[in-house]
Amino acid sequence: MIITSYILMIIGAIFLALGGFGVFRMPDVYNRIQAGTKATTLGAFALILGVGFAEPSWFLKIALIIVFIAITNPVGSSTLARAAYKSGVSATLLQKQKEGEDK
Amino acid sequence: MKKTISTFLVLLAIWVLLTGFNWMEVVLGAAVSLVLAIIISRFVNYSFGFGIILGLIKFIVIYIPVFIFKLVLANIDIAYRVLSPKLPINPGIVKVPTKLKSDFGKFVLANSITLTPGTLSLDVEDDEVIVHWVNVKGKTSGEHQSRISKTFEKLLGGIVK
Q: Is A33 an interface residue toward B (CB < 8 Å)?
A: yes
Distance separating alpha carbons of residues A14 and B94, to the nearest angstrom? 31
Q: Give me the half-sphere count of Cα atoms (radius 13 Å) on the Cβ side of residue A38.
A: 35
Q: DSSP state, B125? A: E
- Has residue B52 got a pLDDT over 60? yes
- Bridge partners, B123 (sequence order): B130
Q: What is the pLDDT of residues B86-132, one digit of tens each?
A: 777 777 777 777 777 777 778 888 888 888 777 888 888 877 788 88
Q: DSSP state, B136? A: -
* ipTM of model: 0.75
**Contact (CB<8Å) B122/A78:** yes
Q: Based on the structure, what is the number of domains in chain A?
A: 1
Q: Is B115 an interface residue toward A (CB < 8 Å)?
A: yes
End-to-end CA distance of chain B: 23
Phi–psi pair at B94, nearest 5 degrees = -125, 160
- Overall average pLDDT of the B11-39 stretch: 86
**Contact (CB<8Å) A26/B87:** yes
Q: Is B127 an interface residue toward A (CB < 8 Å)?
A: no
Q: Is B157 an interface residue toward A (CB < 8 Å)?
A: no
Residue numbers of the domain that contains A19: 2-102
